[in-house]
Structure 1
Amino acid sequence: MLDLRKLRYFLTVAEELHFGRAAVRLHLAQPPLTRQISALETELGFRLFDRTSRTVTLTAQGRHFLPYARAVLDQVNLTQTIARKLATGSAGQLVLGYASSIALSDLFSQAIQAFAQRFPDVQLTLVESASGSLCSQVADGRVDIGMSRMPLEHGQTGVQALALGDEPLVAALSSDNPLAHRESVSLSQLSAYPLIQFPADFGSGLNDSIEQLYRRNGLPLRPGPSGRQITSIIALVAAGQGVALVPECTRTLAKKGVTYRPLTDAEACVQLLILTRNQGRSLLVEAFMGVVNEWVQTTRPT
């Protein structure tokens, strides 16, 4: 195996084309440098330099070998840099799981953008999942961080949740629905229409919050068709198949035939939670949480 130190010596001499100047750059005496180059030539089986008392030039083999030697050393330097970044938590892989409606929020896009700018050597993998499954995925390590709308179950261990605040719910209505012409609507008015939700077995935190809201207000919930993504739910609204209650960030889905209206019920909100493991959080997880906390501090009303 070639000695990396000898390759560095060769590269320095090739750049200087002068053993004396190369020795100064390498903080070596010239005789040891000459011996190391000769030893490298012996290992390679060909001369790297033509030397006279006044000049040093690369041989044809030396010129051909030079870019390969430089590539090896560049890769070694890159490997050392990445190793240092891994040790300090500024490189590696981070898996982020999220509920579909959360992808529409400002927090989601801005936190990812800020993190990517600050840690460009981190490979960020995004996994869309129902809120109900994110807790177990975080607990068993399939996901490093979960962004969910479902509070932890009582007695849940191994995972902790950071609440980032409540987001108002809005009504998504077909534009020809009579309620779409009002400035705001109430839950009581919406209860007269089929409610489009995620499938019952999907494990949606949004479903749970809405169903609790209906129960607290003593309102009947008329089940409508279901969609496995927030975009599917809005498409069903546009098709006149019912109404939907969605986080306010869903307004960014400006689909033709759909009108969004605020609710008169102040309690109609849904939580945004970030899930992480209780123990063994990596430096990358800590770094991402730091970015999220900064975002929360800058956007929180004073």
Structure 2
Amino acid sequence: MTVAEELHFGRAAERLHIAQPAVSQQIAGLERELGVRLLDRSSRRVRLTAAGTRVLDAARTALAAAEHVRLAAEPPAANLRMGAAAGLTARLEHGIDTLRGNGAPFDVVLVDLPLTARLNALRRGELDLVPARGEPTEPGIEAIPTWTEPLLAIVSARHPLAGRPTVGPAELAGTALRLPARRLDRHLHEAVAAAVRGTGVRYEPGRPAGAPRDTVVEIGSDPRSWTVLPADQSAELGATRVTAIPFEPPLTITGTVLVPEHGPGHAARCAAPAFGGR
């Protein structure tokens, strides 16, 4: 699942805290066991095969079930179980530090699951809260608006506007916009797309974006395209061949804390404000 999300063996190995050859060997072993090729590999990119896409869905379900077993063993009153998400590290750290600074009477447990599994775990009461960008409408889930975050235009350092302190939405109309990938985070995709539509400017659509780090690397070598990312996520990527430029007038998105719509959820609702501010 990690290789499929990153589409890069090196980054998958880094996330899993194991050596890259071990990742390759385990994928090869899984392919032999299943009798199908899961990934097409080349020196330039990694792609899922049709079989790989099917197996990925089943793998997510299996991992979610395994996580369900682990969560069932946690003392429910002692822990606040929180779904982790890529690109929200600074927000998570701020929320956890605020809760601990306020003397919260519980420990925070981070659970890393894909988006769909994260939402399902929240509905089943296996997670207490999930920070998210945007104001998603999901069955069985309540979204509590908690923070506001500026959006930044991410352009190549060789882009004509790269030296500007701010940029107007209309000034980027001549280059292809690559929105954050919906398949990786539909909440972020929908929030950014809505903010961009709100400018009234029609942009040329760029080719589908992949993982944010990959997209930013590609934009670094292509001054004809650009993307939009939340400020915290842009800082987290730390790319050197692109420039992040604030919009003028500012573009922002809302950040929310997702909690189960039904059930007690008192601790989670009380904890939600800790993720605001900064």
- The normalised TM-score by structure 2 is 0.60
Offset, 1:167: 0.9
The residue number in structure 2 matching 1:247 is 230
CA separation in 2, counterparts of 1:137 and 1:151? 19
The residue number in structure 1 matching 2:93 is 109
Structure 1 residues 158 and 168: alpha-carbon distance in aligned structure 2, compared to 1, 3 A threshold: same
| CA contact 2:177–2:203 (8 Å) conserved in 1 | no
| 2:161 is the alignment partner of 1:179 | yes
The residue number in structure 2 matching 1:258 is 242
Specify which structure has the higher proportion of helix. 1
Structure 1 residues 123 and 181: alpha-carbon distance in aligned structure 2, compared to 1, 3 A threshold: closer
The residue number in structure 2 matching 1:141 is 125
Structure 1 residues 243 and 128: alpha-carbon distance in aligned structure 2, compared to 1, 3 A threshold: farther
Offset, 1:184: 1.1
Sequence identity percentage: 17
| 2:145 is the alignment partner of 1:166 | no
Structure 1 residues 200 and 293: alpha-carbon distance in aligned structure 2, compared to 1, 3 A threshold: closer
The residue number in structure 2 matching 1:290 is 270
1:188 pairs with one of 146, 151, 170: 170
The residue number in structure 2 matching 1:226 is 209
Offset, 1:226: 1.4
| 2:215 is the alignment partner of 1:238 | no
| 2:107 is the alignment partner of 1:127 | no
Question: Structure 1: where are the runs of 5+ without partners?
Answer: 1-85
The residue number in structure 1 matching 2:60 is none
SS at match of 1:226: coil
1:143-195 CA-partner distances (Å, limit 9, x unpaired): 32111124233xx5432111013211011111111110222112222232222
Structure 1 residues 206 and 190: alpha-carbon distance in aligned structure 2, compared to 1, 3 A threshold: farther
Offset, 1:257: 1.2
More relative contact order in 1 or in 2 (CA 8 Å, sep 6+)?
2
The residue number in structure 2 matching 1:210 is 192
1:96 pairs with one of 82, 93, 99: 82
| CA contact 2:141–2:258 (8 Å) conserved in 1 | yes
CA separation in 2, counterparts of 1:265 and 1:134? 34
| Matched residues, number | 201
1:23-63 CA-partner distances (Å, limit 9, x unpaired): xxxxxxxxxxxxxxxxxxxxxxxxxxxxxxxxxxxxxxxxx
Structure 1 residues 227 and 120: alpha-carbon distance in aligned structure 2, compared to 1, 3 A threshold: farther
CA separation in 2, counterparts of 1:247 and 1:122? 28
Structure 1 residues 123 and 265: alpha-carbon distance in aligned structure 2, compared to 1, 3 A threshold: closer
- The normalised TM-score by structure 1 is 0.56
| 2:180 is the alignment partner of 1:198 | yes
Offset, 1:128: 5.0
1:197-255 CA-partner distances (Å, limit 9, x unpaired): 33343342222123223333141341234123x33333233233731111111234332
Question: Structure 2: where are the runs of 5+ without partners?
Answer: 1-74
Offset, 1:119: 6.0
SS at match of 1:95: strand
CA RMSD of aligned residues (A): 3.2
CA separation in 1, counterparts of 2:265 and 2:205? 45
Structure 1 residues 225 and 98: alpha-carbon distance in aligned structure 2, compared to 1, 3 A threshold: same
The residue number in structure 2 matching 1:5 is none
Task: Report which of the two structures shows the higher radius of gyration computed on alpha carbons.
Answer: 1
| CA contact 2:96–2:108 (8 Å) conserved in 1 | no
Offset, 1:138: 1.8
SS at match of 1:240: coil
Offset, 1:292: 4.2
